[in-house]
Amino acid sequence: MKTAITDLFGIDVPILAFTHCRDVVAAVTRAGGMGVLGAVAHSPEQLEIDLAWIEAEVGHLPYGIDLIVPAKYAGSDAGGYTLDDIRQLIPAEHVAYVDDILRRYDVPPLAKDEPGRGALGRGGDAGMVAPFSASQAEPLLEIALAHRPALVVNALGPPPVHMIERVKEEGRLLGALAGKAQHAERHVNAGVDVIIAQGAEAGGHTGEIGSMVLIPEIVDAVAPVPVLGAGGIGRGRQMAAAMALGAQGVWCGSVWLTTVEAETHPVVKQKFLAATSSDTVRSRSRTGKPARQLRTAWTDEWDNPSTPQPLGMPLQPILVGEAIARIDRAAYQPGSGAEKLANYFVGQIVGSMNETKTSAQVVFDMIDEFIETVQALSRQLEG
């Protein structure tokens, strides 16, 4: 295929795969698309390991990295909160509510040395920076730029000035997600090279406008800057629709969560395989900002107007971090309360994710269906 995106990155097909799994990044890249590693949950040490591994696996082929550096979040005016700051700011009623959820669903505690313990900043971490902040993301950005990702994406809001300057200094391309045409215009004016038009169907942080309306609005607003269509895209017909609306390629995230290579929690993966497109909800329960995820007992608990409502970012992820680690640890027990609570970010495309495939097969199937769709449309013009 030949589009502005394939030309820009020197890839065979304009399919970009957002994923937290390095194996998926490598598999999609080798299949002719381009994997983009979501690194927000990485420590600097783990990011160094994963980027070196990806580069060894893909050779000269291009790949990308995705960070979350919100322009505005709780404490941003003061340079970002430390975990000790957050410990002081989280209301006692919210702590008690999380403890109550875990008690009612009989979720056992973590062992003292298990990962995820102490996410509220209890003991020994007073100077640690909070997640979803510039202070947390800056070391990750510097490690990324010491490697060779072709694309650096900011997944939440406009990239900060420092991020733009550093990426440009290193000669890399910069991407950003947009849920409104106005957001896309601001990104381009700031120097962003590729816009990801993410419709409300998408998993994770997303806006309220559907892809069918959003993609052409953004294409028209930022032309000739190339646009990737995102949200509700996991099949070739959807890819064809996005490109008919003016996108030069697609950005897919959810569809990789049920692949062979994905590191998705096995219980959650099975829930995804059984889910319909109606089984997701936009909820602030995990990050403090609206993020589409699988609806489970966890999202229902936080949707109750009679209980404490989710806090803002980055307070909410710190509040619930250890709880989610406990739920994930215990969810393997069939019929347990933890199994009922377990969830993860996923888009409405989950209704079509009912078979486990390799990541490469997902790419090949998308392209095959894309070709069939375009050919079928062409035949409608004949005669």
pLDDT in 10s for each residue of the chain, 383 residues: 999 999 999 999 999 999 999 999 999 999 999 999 999 889 999 999 999 999 999 999 999 999 987 655 455 555 556 677 777 889 999 999 999 999 999 999 998 777 665 544 333 343 444 455 556 778 899 999 999 999 999 987 788 888 899 999 999 999 999 999 999 999 999 999 999 999 999 999 999 999 999 999 999 999 999 999 999 999 999 999 999 999 999 999 999 999 999 999 999 999 999 999 999 999 999 999 999 999 999 999 999 999 999 999 888 999 999 999 999 999 999 999 999 999 999 999 999 999 999 999 999 999 999 999 999 999 998 86
**Cα 319 to the center of its chain, rounded Å:** 20
Question: Is beta strand 194-198 parallel, antiparallel or unpaired with respect to 173-178?
Answer: parallel
Most distant pair of Cα atoms in the chain: their distance: 75
Query: Looking at residue 127, what is its pLDDT?
Result: 40
CB proximity list for 193: less than 8 A, separation 6 or greater: 8, 173, 174, 175, 225, 226
**First-to-last CA distance in the chain?**
26
pTM across the whole model: 0.91
CB 214 within 8 A of CB 196: no
Residue 189 CA to residue 4 CA, distance in Å, equals: 19
- The single-letter code of the amino acid at 257 is L
Residue 248 CA to residue 242 CA, distance in Å, equals: 8
Question: Is beta strand 249-252 parallel, antiparallel or unpaired with respect to 15-19?
Answer: parallel
Query: Looking at residue 87, what is its pLDDT?
Result: 75
Residue 176 burial (CB count, 10 A): 26
CB proximity list for 91: less than 8 A, separation 6 or greater: 308, 311
Residue 217 CA to residue 197 CA, distance in Å, equals: 9
Collapsing DSSP to helix, strand or coil, 323 comes out as: helix
Decide yes or no: CATH 3.20.20.70 for domain 4-73+131-261+348-379: yes
Query: How is residue 136 written in tokens?
Result: 């947390």
